[in-house]
Amino acid sequence: MLKDKIAVVTGGTRGIGNAVVRSFLENGAQVILFGSREETATKAVDAIKKDNPDAKIEGAWPKLADFESISKEIKRIEEKYGRIDILVNNAGVTDSTSVYEYDAKKFSDIIDINVKGLFNAILAVIPYMKKQGGGSIINTSSMVTKFGQTLGVAYPTSKFAVNGLTVSLARELGPDKIRVNAVAPGITNTDMVKNLPKEMIDPLINMIPLRRIGEPEDLSKAFVFLASDQADFVSGEVLYVDGAMIV
Ligand code: NAD
């Protein structure tokens, strides 16, 4: 479904992002995965190459909150491959701090990665997508945009911002044939969830009508669809992949 497409995936080293990288490769894309550090990005690339030595994969580790850093890396990729068809903004950090223990720095650290980092990558990539006649941008939102979250308020705040940015940019970039969508995972079996307190997770699973938590591969299928030509006329959507989670 993605034969010969050039795809950048931020936060591709583990969890949902890593499943997206693997699914994109299986569907024929050339993938550049971004990690937060050289060590983790290289390790993730090596693990993929161990399973498939011919995988069209490379790693990079620009600083997402720093526009100069990400823009330099996106330029390098465009010069090397001649185009960038797909940008997946998946890197994200969560939080479970009580609002009474918050400070301004904690709040802005989360917004820096989840919103500014994502916006920086979009800003860097859109001139190339416009020049080449289109592209697909997919942001990672969250089920918390259905009903908020009881702790760690910067996290739902950041994901509501992701939805706002997705829906708005789909309108603005549509005339340039750049589609902008988001995938909103429900509770998914990754390190991010393993690190959250049990008392936060267990009651949530009971609220999932499909009665299980999602696996990263449940999510990657949605990313492949939105990245592909099958979703040619789909833009400005937030696709919830959450087992019909209810409150
Ligand atoms: P994870 O913690 O397993 O992976 C997060 C990824 O983001 C990693 O690859 C990490 O390297 C990257 N990252 C984190 N901070 C970074 C930084 N400063 N710079 C560069 N990269 C950084 O988490 P996951 O569960 O796979 O989450 C992926 C996305 O899905 C996130 O945006 C998250 O908010 C969203 N999400 C996850 C769940 C869930 O239940 N797991 C639910 C809703 C939304």
| Cα(47)–Cα(58) distance, integer angstroms | 12
Residue 8 pLDDT grade (very low, low, confident, very high; cuts 50, 70, 90): very high
Ligand 1 centroid vs 131 CA: distance in angstroms?
30
| Cα(136)–Cα(214) distance, integer angstroms | 24
Ligand 1 centroid vs 175 CA: distance in angstroms?
31
Helix (H) / strand (E) element for 42: namely helix 38-51
Pocket of ligand 1 (CB under 6 A): 11, 13-17, 35-36, 64, 90-94, 113, 140, 142-143, 185, 187-188, 190-193
Q: Does residue 17 register a pLDDT over 90?
A: yes
pTM beyond 0.95, yes or no: yes
| Cα(238)–Cα(158) distance, integer angstroms | 15
Ligand 1 centroid vs 170 CA: distance in angstroms?
23
Of 8, 16, 139, 207, which is best to mutate to test ligand 1, by the most ligand atoms within 8 angstroms of its C-beta? 16
- What is the widest separation between alpha-carbon atoms in the chain? 51
Two structure tokens written together for 29: 């894309």
Report the catalytic residues: 155
Contact predicate 164/207, CB 8 Å: no
**DSSP SS3 for 178:** strand
Residue 198 pLDDT grade (very low, low, confident, very high; cuts 50, 70, 90): confident
Ligand 1 centroid vs 51 CA: distance in angstroms?
23
Residue 121 pLDDT grade (very low, low, confident, very high; cuts 50, 70, 90): very high
Percent of the chain as helix, strand, coil, to the nearest 5:
50, 15, 35
Residue nearest to ligand 1 atom 41, measured at CA? 188
| Cα(9)–Cα(68) distance, integer angstroms | 18
| Cα(85)–Cα(106) distance, integer angstroms | 34
Q: Say which CATH topology domain 6-241 has.
A: Rossmann fold (3.40.50)
Average pLDDT score, the chain:
96
**DSSP SS3 for 63:** coil
